Structure 1
């Protein structure tokens, strides 16, 4: 099936994709439930905005260290086994967080522990998708997945707040999140084939011990196209800042507190729509649009310096989110160039960089907002993102055609491996 012929119904006709899609959507909603509950729980106990922000940031930053070390497990063992095992582990940890008497320091450690294996699950899931959706269906599937993530984030934030307000119990919301991980584990365990990683090929098997875990980092760093696409995706860290500064911006322009939710959802909604729009694009079109969309994503944010009203800001931030669908295109181009036997490690490194860029972007924007103003901080981050995206596109020549897979010269060999677990 050609890419142009792939339709949404062609993708949803694949049973394994439906399993992955449902599992990811409902657990993503649960994740947002947990973020709302944790913020309220920590602030309720400490009345400290700084500690609340620190706990929230702890859900983003650990993958920077754990991704290169853990993602390789999805290149060694059955990817189905990796996914459901991680989900069960996270369900247990979240379940402990839901215990009302849990001391705050232990709660903080559990937050970090839950975030640590996330890159392992994500890399296994994304590495499995090209096998589940061969040919043109993969591009459409990635668009659907990206759009669903955005919608799930909006729903999770909104419903999480409603549930906490209705029950008065953040612990109940955490328990619901633990349940979503168990549901995801069951769907993956009994709804997917093992999906064993391929062996041999570009990565070989003759390198010294100790290189396996970092082989994905070495592969990306040595290949111009892969490094450029990863770096371009990381510029999204500049464009996510409106979400973190929505409340201060509302206060700055003198709008009501009810506007905060609208503004926080604007860029996420725009990216969800953008993901669906780019899903049907052919290879040549998406290659040409990758850098222009990344550049354009920052321009609506620059207008924020004029302190537009709520609805104007919602429209501007939504357009920025729409253009931020370049992340989906960059991810598709990246994945298709990486051999299956090293795919999870390469994806883990790129995904960890993206997640870390978002956390650092929010932190930088907060510092600028304190020193200048929320509106000017958002505008400066938008301008910086556009400039950096354009520079990356030119330096790494991302408009050039992609290689079907990276060459053997670009792929460092991995260590000898035992047979994958066939479960």
Structure 2
């Protein structure tokens, strides 16, 4: 693309963004989306930190961490289609206000009760509320816009906020609260080691209450319900069955799915191990927040770098190479001796995952037939959720089973944290899966991995 064309494209993008944000109702809803996205990511950090603080013993902390992650992901797997269908029958503004009020109360109740069992129960109920809130919010966006062609820009703004800026803000706020914890205890503002996590959850509660007030009083345009019932969505098992049949007969998609499973399993392992891994590096909750943010910073960098790499390597080869790179970077994470090296390695894991994610979507858009593209994307998305659920829930349990080991090396006693061998195995597995995906997707008779690496 020549420089004038690039300038016109940038100008056009900026004009589209300004045009959408100039709509008062959408601007307010986007602000609400930003607040709830920050609260959602901060809740993952605070709840996982609190679960380990309310338990004692390395194995118990590992199991508690896996339980939090599984509790957050399980409602979407079980009740997602049902919640979406019910949300269509109800007034959207009422749904959003009620869900925000309920989430506010549930978040504020966790510090008041202070028990691990209620933490799990409240987390499950909070996620059920999110299942109703999200489709109501998404369905209301087209009604707030002036033209149908603004929907894509509006959705892009929501995605950038939810999976970009919100992650960084939530990680920064949680790290700052964790650092300030000792100071706040000395000042008498909090009274226990769990005080920083309780404070973060309380901030979430007030944030959701504020969002309920804004939606209820400042965005009346959201009110409404679906004019006609949307087509019945296939269940998860039906979608997986149809997807497996298509994947088995298509080598390209089979390699793509194999690679995606490896990439998201590696990313899920990093997220699931981050709390205990940060402790092994001598850090605390602040280091946990930094590791969490680093993964998503790398993800964004990878999506930015992917188009440049695709100029030198075919998409089919680039996808497999990115998975292999993610696995090798995860091995570096397992061997990192201190926090700075760990942060750099985690950024590399995210970067490789970002390249693989964007490249995979490009392959689906360009290589899969139009009549199969929608169900292929839906199948991949469902598989990604299952993969993340399995990885983020099972990895902490594996860490708990491995536990800490003390070895004698060169007459020195060395303590090996349980996260290190688990991350090492996950890195080796991801690299192997990447190689398998590369071979399945490469349709060249003389395809060479080393040649593609030299091109890169």
| TM bucket, shorter chain | 0.5 to 0.7
**Matched residue count:** 390
* Secondary structure, aligned partner of 2:34: helix
- The two structures, once aligned, show a CA RMSD in angstroms of 5.2
Structure with greater helix share of residues: 2
Aligned-partner Cα distance in 2 for 1:377–1:274:
25
Q: Does 1:383 align with 2:419?
A: no
C-alpha distance after superposition, 1:45-68 (max 9, x if no partner): 554555544444333214346424
Aligned to 1:91: 104
Q: Does 1:270 align with 2:304?
A: no
Aligned to 2:20: 14
CA 1:171–1:231 in 2, change beyond 3 Å: closer, same or farther? same
Aligned-partner Cα distance in 1 for 2:356–2:98:
28
Residue 150 (structure 1) shift: 3.1
TM-score (norm 1): 0.67
C-alpha distance after superposition, 1:279-311 (max 9, x if no partner): 999999995554443332222222346545443
C-alpha distance after superposition, 1:231-268 (max 9, x if no partner): 64443222343455457656767x66686655454323
Match of 1:176 among 182, 203, 216: 203
Aligned to 1:417: none
CA 1:50–1:393 in 2, change beyond 3 Å: closer, same or farther? same
Aligned-partner Cα distance in 2 for 1:193–1:126:
13
Residue 18 (structure 1) shift: 5.1
Aligned-partner Cα distance in 2 for 1:364–1:249:
13
Give the alignment of 1:9-408 within 5 angstroms.
10-11=16-17, 13-15=19-21, 21-35=30-44, 37-38=46-47, 41=50, 46-62=55-71, 63-64=73-74, 66-74=76-84, 77-78=87-88, 80=92, 86-98=99-111, 100-101=112-113, 103-118=115-130, 121=133, 134=151, 142=159, 145-162=162-179, 165=182, 166=184, 167-168=189-190, 169=195, 170-185=197-212, 190=219, 196=226, 216-218=239-241, 220-224=243-247, 232-234=259-261, 235-245=263-273, 262-275=290-303, 288=316, 289-304=318-333, 306-326=335-355, 328-329=357-358, 349-350=382-383, 352-356=385-389, 357-365=391-399, 367-368=401-402, 370=404, 374-392=419-437, 395=440, 397=441
C-alpha distance after superposition, 1:22-48 (max 9, x if no partner): 434322332344445445655565545
Q: Is the 8 A contact 2:52 2:61 kept in 1?
A: yes
Q: Is the 8 A contact 1:75 1:343 kept in 2?
A: no
Structure 1 stretches lacking a partner, 5+ long: 400-423
* Secondary structure, aligned partner of 1:60: helix
C-alpha distance after superposition, 1:82-109 (max 9, x if no partner): 65554444333223324x2465433432
Aligned to 1:415: none
* Secondary structure, aligned partner of 1:58: helix
Residue 178 (structure 1) shift: 1.9
Residue 151 (structure 1) shift: 1.2
TM-score (norm 2): 0.63
Structure 2 stretches lacking a partner, 5+ long: 1-5, 143-147, 406-415, 444-456
* Secondary structure, aligned partner of 2:208: helix
Aligned-partner Cα distance in 2 for 1:85–1:49:
39
Q: Is the 8 A contact 1:365 1:377 kept in 2?
A: yes
Which of structures 1 and 2 has the bigger CA Rg?
Answer: 2
Q: Is the 8 A contact 1:143 1:328 kept in 2?
A: no
Residue 20 (structure 1) shift: 5.8
Q: Is the 8 A contact 1:245 1:366 kept in 2?
A: no
Residue 321 (structure 1) shift: 1.4
